[in-house]
Amino acid sequence: MMIQDPSGDRRVYDLRDVEFLYGGTHRALQSVHLRVNAGERIAILGSNGCGKSTLMQILGGLLFPTKGEAYAFGQKLTEDQFREASFTAFFRRRVGLLFQNPDVQLFCPTVFDEIAFGPLQLDFSREEVLEKCREMLGMLNLEKIARRSPHQLSGGEKKKVALASVLALNPDVLLLDEPTAGLDPRTQVWLVEVLDELHSLGKTIVTATHDLSILEEIADRAYVMGEDHALVAEGPSDEILNDLDLLLRVNLIHEHAHEHEGFIHRHGHLHALPHHHDHPDQP
Ligand SMILES: Nc1ncnc2c1ncn2[C@@H]1O[C@H](COP(=O)(O)OP(=O)(O)OP(=O)(O)O)[C@@H](O)[C@H]1O
Ligand SMILES: [Mg+2]
């Protein structure tokens, strides 16, 4: 189902000149302009500490700009707005955020309760909650750990439980902060397929990542953040991936120095992708 606000606008997010300072002093975002339409798949790219998670929490209505404005579904996101129970219910039903660190997300005594929590909040019937939990446990292969405490699981298991609890709500907008980090290859492939399916159902998906190897599979368009916490580029994922100078500048790829017969040539590496080196013929 596509989200459409009463004016018929398909815009989900509109961020205008957003700045965020932690504790009033520590800059995490500056001059961020970002737009996302319903049904789009967007990636937020950038190196460690550039502000991706902060941005995701602004999109998720958990942090609010210290300057500029963030709109979702045509409504300005402010602390006051979220004091209105009807808006909070409207927003939380539509937007699901997967935190980068699953420890922040998990708080229930068992994995089963963790997955059931969201659907219970949304007034699903008992049968629907049970059905949803069974479906999620099966999908993510979590049946064997359903009765265990989320806090005693491995990092990857925690991530899967957090993902199950977000997907259980079937939100229209999925905000995924480094969703593949810590997942084994099989689960990563599964996740990419699930996201593809959700995209074809019309969901809006925003993924923060520095995993360039999955970029084209999970996003049609990408925003690139620089180490100064501002956006430095926006464009189709394939164009961003081909702009090696840009990726090098924002530290998403690294430069290798190779010595060959007394001279050095330098080039960027997309290590996650298959690549080969073209070197001048060796004697
Ligand atoms: N709770 C916090 N209090 C103070 N500063 C914070 C807090 N969380 C993040 N920061 C700082 O804000 C900046 C942006 O952090 P953020 O977590 O948004 O980056 P990121 O792009 O998600 O990084 P990573 O790739 O490591 O996840 C960093 O300088 C970080 O040190
Ligand atoms: Mg982060």
CATH number for the domain including 60? 3.40.50.300
Tell me whether residue 274 is in a domain. Answer: no
Contact 2, 202 (CB under 8 A): yes
Tell me whether residue 279 is in a domain. Answer: no
| For residues 228-252, average pLDDT | 95
Tell me whether residue 123 is in a domain. Answer: yes
Tell me whether residue 3 is in a domain. Answer: no
Residue-wise pLDDT for 244-279, tens only, equals 999 999 999 887 643 444 443 444 555 444 445 555
Beta bridge partners of 41: 205
Tell me whether residue 225 is in a domain. Answer: yes
With 0-12 / 13-18 / 19 or more C-beta atoms within 10 angstroms meaning exposed / middle / buried, residue 194 is middle
Q: Is ligand 1 within 6 A of the CB of residue 100?
A: yes
Tell me whether residue 4 is in a domain. Answer: no
| For residues 234-246, average pLDDT | 95
Tell me whether residue 282 is in a domain. Answer: no
How far apart are alpha carbons 195 and 91 in whole angstroms? 21
Residues 6+ apart with CB under 8 A from 68: 15, 16, 17, 18, 19, 31, 32
Residue-wise pLDDT for 192-214, tens only, equals 998 998 999 999 999 999 889 99
Of residues 234 and 261, the one with the higher pLDDT is 234
Total tally of structural domains belonging to the chain: 1
pLDDT for res 267:
47
pLDDT for res 18:
98
Beta bridge partners of 202: none
Which segment of 34-48, 144-158, 236-250, 252-266 scores lowest on mean pLDDT? 252-266
Ligand 1 atom nearest 225 alpha carbon: 21
Tokens 């907008």 correspond to 173
Residue-wise pLDDT for 96-141, tens only, equals 999 999 999 999 999 999 999 999 988 789 999 999 999 999 988 8
Q: Pocket of ligand 1, candidates 47, 50, 104: which has the most ligand atoms within 8 Å of its Cβ, to mutate? A: 50
What is the pTM assigned to this prediction? 0.89
Tell me whether residue 100 is in a domain. Answer: yes
Q: Is ligand 1 within 6 A of the CB of residue 228?
A: no
Q: Is ligand 1 within 6 A of the CB of residue 203?
A: no
Torsion of CA 150, 153, 154, 157, to 10 degrees: -60
Q: Is ligand 1 within 6 A of the CB of residue 266?
A: no
| For residues 8-29, average pLDDT | 93
Q: What percent of the chain has pLDDT over 70?
A: 87
Q: Pocket of ligand 1, candidates 53, 63, 178, 231: which has the most ligand atoms within 8 Å of its Cβ, to mutate? A: 53
Question: Which is it for the CA torsion 7, 10, 12, 14, positive or negative?
Answer: negative
Confidence class of residue 3 from pLDDT cuts 50, 70 and 90? very low
Domain of residue 193, residue span: 11-269
